[in-house]
């Protein structure tokens, strides 16, 4: 198995996958606690418009898609707050608009299904040095922001009304949180793709929550489950010749089943 790590593209995949797994799992825990799991799919599908625009304009895909996903995330929070509708309803409102816009742009640009496959299902084995730099820089921004706002985000996740009553700037923190989710979704797209991004952001936190530990331990376990999912997925993909994003998603689900079994056995 050691020869696997002699290839630069595999090294890039493991490095980038580990960073993305940690970011997704940590931020995903707050998403699950806030019952906004649908948000990751909503932003991912809306980001198709950014991918389509970047391909049509021959611009940097990560930069354009990141901007669109960031704005979509902020838009979801804006609609949720100003129109007083639930988070899921706001997501359901923007998701088809972003998806439809992406499809129209792709049609106008005459993009083939081959061009689109890597964005739909991930292309972690094709990550370049510039992609890696992008992931490292923005991944660090997300982790630092979460570290700084961890207590406030935890409070809001469990009782947003009480957080407002205590004088916490909930609206501002929500905008930061939703923006971080938008950035994280884009980073995860390179690993798992639009169709499977929730496998990295939702399943590892759910697996960690099965074990019913304190919050800090759950954060660590969530990150550990995410990293293990990516590592097992990459190795399985290499030796079995299957799609890496799908292998990561199935590995993540297998770990969820193991955590659920451990819960029943009270391990």
**What would the pLDDT profile of 98-128 be if each residue is shown by its tens digit?**
778 777 777 776 665 545 666 666 677 778 7
- As a whole number, mean pLDDT of residues 81-96 equals 70
pLDDT higher than threshold 60 for residue 211:
yes
154 confidence band (pLDDT: 50, 70, 90)? confident
Residues spanned by the domain of 84:
2-265
Say which residues have a Cβ less than 8 Å from residue 152's Cβ, sequence separation at least 6. 163, 168, 173
Torsion region of 239: left, alpha or beta (phi above 0 gives left; psi -120 to 50 gives alpha): alpha
Say which residues have a Cβ less than 8 Å from residue 144's Cβ, sequence separation at least 6. none
**What CATH number is given to the structural domain containing 9?**
1.10.3470.10
pLDDT higher than threshold 60 for residue 259:
yes
Give the number of other Cβ atoms within 10 Å of residue 211's Cβ: 15
The answer to whether 65 and 50 are in contact (CB under 8 A) is yes
Give the number of other Cβ atoms within 10 Å of residue 207's Cβ: 29
pLDDT digits (tens, 9 = 90+) for 179-209: 898 888 888 877 777 767 888 889 999 999 9
- Mean pLDDT in the chain? 82
Alpha helices (runs of H) in the chain, residue ranges in sequence order: 8-33, 38-46, 48-57, 61-82, 87-109, 113-121, 129-158, 160-165, 170-192, 197-201, 203-210, 215-240, 244-265
User: Percentage of the chain surpassing pLDDT 70?
Assistant: 88
Count of structural domains within the chain:
1
pTM (2 d.p.): 0.83
When mean pLDDT is compared across 120-124, 160-164, 235-239, the lowest value belongs to 120-124
Give the three-class secondary structure for 1. coil
Q: At what angle do helices 170-192 and 61-82 cross, to 10 degrees?
A: 140
- Cα separation, 135 vs 124, in Å, equals 12
For residue 177, the Cα-to-chain-centroid distance in whole angstroms is 13
88 confidence band (pLDDT: 50, 70, 90)? low
What's the confidence (pLDDT) of residue 265? Answer: 76
Say which residues have a Cβ less than 8 Å from residue 217's Cβ, sequence separation at least 6. none
Count of residues making up the chain = 267
What's the confidence (pLDDT) of residue 113? Answer: 54
pLDDT higher than threshold 70 for residue 267:
no
The answer to whether 73 and 56 are in contact (CB under 8 A) is no
CA dihedral 156, 157, 159, 161 (to 10 degrees): 50
pLDDT higher than threshold 50 for residue 132:
yes
What's the confidence (pLDDT) of residue 140? Answer: 92
b/e map 18-54, b = 16+ CB within 10 Å:
bbbbbbbbbbbbbbbbbebbbbbbbbbbbbbbbbbbb
pLDDT digits (tens, 9 = 90+) for 66-79: 888 888 888 887 87
């Amino acid at each position: 198995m050691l020869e696997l790590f002699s290839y630069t593209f595999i090294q890039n995949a493991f490095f980038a996958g580990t960073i993305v797994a940690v970011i997704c799992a940590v931020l995903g825990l707050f998403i699950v606690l806030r019952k906004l799991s649908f948000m990751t799919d909503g932003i991912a599908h809306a980001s198709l418009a950014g991918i389509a625009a970047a391909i049509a304009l021959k611009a940097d895909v990560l930069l354009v898609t990141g901007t669109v996903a960031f704005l979509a995330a902020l838009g979801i929070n804006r609609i949720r707050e100003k129109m007083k509708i639930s988070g899921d309803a706001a997501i359901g409102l923007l998701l088809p608009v972003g998806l439809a816009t992406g499809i129209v742009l792709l049609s106008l640009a005459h993009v083939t299904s081959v061009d689109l496959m890597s964005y739909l299902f991930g292309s972690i084995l094709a990550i370049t040095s510039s992609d890696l730099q992008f992931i490292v820089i923005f991944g660090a921004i997300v982790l630092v922001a979460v570290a700084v706002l961890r207590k406030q985000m935890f409070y809001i996740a469990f009782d947003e009304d009480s957080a407002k009553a205590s004088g916490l700037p909930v609206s501002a923190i929500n905008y930061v949180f939703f923006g971080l989710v938008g950035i994280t979704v884009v980073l995860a797209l390179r690993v798992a793709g639009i169709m499977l991004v929730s496998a990295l952001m939702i399943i590892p936190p759910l697996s960690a929550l099965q074990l019913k530990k304190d919050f800090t331990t759950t954060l660590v376990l969530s990150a550990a489950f995410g990293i293990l999912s990516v590592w097992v997925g990459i190795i399985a993909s290499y030796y079995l010749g299957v799609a890496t994003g799908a292998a990561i998603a199935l590995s993540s689900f297998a770990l969820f089943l193991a955590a659920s079994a451990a819960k029943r056995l009270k391990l």
